[in-house]
Amino acid sequence: MSGVNSALHDELNPLKAAEARFDIAAEKLAIDEGMQKVLRFPAREVTVNIPVQLDDGRIEVFTGYRVQHSIARGPAKGGIRYAPDVHIDEVRALASWMTWKCAVVNIPYGGGKGGIICDPSILSERELERITRRYTAELVEILGPELDVPAPDLGTNQQTMAWMMDTYSMHKRHTVTAVVTGKPIELGGSKGRTEATGRGCLFVTLEALKRFKIYPYNARVAVQGFGNVGGQSARLMAQAKMKVVSIIEWDGAVYNEDGLDIEALMLHKKETGSIIDFPGGENIDKNEALYLDVDVLVPAAKENVITQANAHKIQAKILCEGANGPTTALADPILREKGVFVIPDILANAGGVTVSYFEWVQDRQGYFWNEKLVNERLEEIMTQSFRDVVSFAEKHNVDNRTAAYMLALDRVLFTIKLRGLYA
């Protein structure tokens, strides 16, 4: 690999991105070398090779991982990803991300992540079920409401969680709903979970707007990604009277100066399969749409969207990171220089894991909350966490991302010391 290509590869590598942010925060907190090692290395990594018979009778072996980065503050918590490019480095990075995310919103979890190298788009429902059940059976000793609580991620969904819960329960000889979150409501899922990440983005954005003294009805918003996080963020922000002027998807972007009708756009996407040619807006260039002069930009599609190559073009005042890792570490100083107010991913999109925590609490109590209560408690946690991060940033004269990492590291470190986890 040439020098330039290798630098680019490093910039886009999620493990490097996580390490870069960790290093800055650890240095600012003056964490000693030994403790840095404790925080840096995953507590446990398990690799499983799962033999599964395919529908045509052939036997295939799939490799799966589960990484528990930290269990200092509570059970490991994090999604399971099914994708052909799942890599142990990525799983490690995502597991550590979960540790910091749970600590930022101060919920009693550590961080974990899992994945299976497979392509769900070419596997049948029955094959996916067999893979999921074998994977869960292999991990039965390390999973559990008190140990490690998976959730859906890319390529997995409510059905995957239902199979995991059932397989785990078969081994335990009784139903254990709290072993996974993101389940169907009928199997112990929580109301409000589907909208939770987008709703969390709304709550932190409203707090950021207050700091800029911008009323929601004057706020112009662009959202990249019109899936779960982006779609719900846009819908809820429009409901809160913000003007969502642009939605950006992989195949194009739409724009309306007066604000798009998000419900109508959702219907248009459902009917046509795309957001483009929406009668209530005009098609615009998807790359240029990222650089619109808006108050709020919500990258809610994928990682590595804002890099050192384009960060200088961002005009938004507030960047609410709905996706995981949409900004690379090398783009951070450029945004800081430009004065962009970043609500970092480990805070902005923590609404999802927060309502997962509520799901786990409800399952353990066997008592289910109504949606109003879920949303109120989510608002309380997101608003408080936003204030914690921003005041930490002001106190230590650092940017919001560094502050979020510092706060998270500090909280995890405090628990490790209090427990004497290294003794």
Residues with a catalytic annotation lie at 113
Of the two residues 215 and 250, which places its CB atom closer to ligand NAD in the complex? 250
Query: Minimum Å distance from CB 257 to ligand NAD?
Result: 21
CB of residue 350 to ligand NAD, shortest distance in Å: 8
Residue with tokens 């070398």: 33
**CA dist., res. 228 & res. 336, Å (int):** 28
How buried is 234 (Cβ within 10 angstroms: 0-12 exposed, 13-18 middle, 19+ buried)? buried
* Token pair in block for residue 9: 């590869």
Pairing mode, strands 252-255 and 341-343: unpaired
The footprint of ligand NAD (CB under 6 A) covers: 197, 224-230, 248-250, 300-302, 322-324, 349, 352
Kindly give the pairing relationship between strand 76-83 and strand 44-53. unpaired
Q: How far is the CB of 290 from ligand NAD (least distance, A)?
A: 9
Least separation in angstroms between CB 406 and ligand NAD? 21
- What is the signed CA dihedral for 19, 20, 23, 28, rounded to 10 degrees? -140
Report the alpha-carbon distance of residue 213 to residue 178 in Å, rounded: 42
Judged by beta carbon, residue 253 or residue 340, the one nearer ligand NAD is: 253
Nearer to ligand NAD, 52 or 161 (CB): 161
CB-closest chain residue to ligand NAD? 227
**Beta-bridge partners for 114:** 66, 80
- Judged by beta carbon, residue 167 or residue 324, the one nearer ligand NAD is 324
CA–CA separation, 194 and 190 (whole Å): 9
The least CB distance from residue 352 to ligand NAD, in Å, is 3
Rg of the chain, C-alpha, whole Å: 21
Residue 44 or residue 302: which is nearer to ligand NAD going by CB?
Answer: 302
